[in-house]
Amino acid sequence: MKYVLIESDKGQKQALIFHDGLTHSVVGHGVCREHRREGEFWKPISAGFTDCQTQTYGRSESLEMESDRTDIAYVVMGNSVALQNRGTAMNLFRAYLAAKGVSHGTP
């Protein structure tokens, strides 16, 4: 699966997860354009690929952006970490995995 992490001008983050057949730039810019129509300003901040469970990796050539290993927290935990900075979101993700008995190697 592919993903694009977008961020609002208020600091809220949202992961867009979609099929490999779609292009990062079409999805990322399309969703941001729809938010603008509602008076909200969002922009893509990272993009790549995900297994939707434990990792984000790679890069988007169409957006010319790298993935960030901490993006997995936003992919898995969604709105529950949307307003958290990357470090806090990742700590919450690690706690979530520990509660499920799963280890995660991301620093």
Q: How confident is the model at residue 101 (pLDDT cuts 50, 70, 90)?
A: confident
Give the domains, in start order, of the chain with CATH numbers. 2-100 (3.50.20)
**What confidence tens digit (pLDDT) does each residue in 11-30 have?**
999 999 999 999 999 999 99
**Predicted TM-score (pTM) of this structure:** 0.90
**What confidence tens digit (pLDDT) does each residue in 71-83 have?**
999 999 998 899 9
Number of separate helices (H) and strands (E) present in the chain = 3, 6
Q: At residue 55, does pLDDT exceed 60?
A: yes
Looking at per-residue confidence, does 41 or 105 come out higher? 41
What average pLDDT score do residues 68-96 get?
Answer: 94
Contact predicate 38/62, CB 8 Å: no
- Among 66, 60, 75, which Cα is nearest to 25's? 60
Residues 6+ apart with CB under 8 A from 72: 50, 54, 55, 56, 93, 106
Q: At residue 106, does pLDDT exceed 80?
A: no
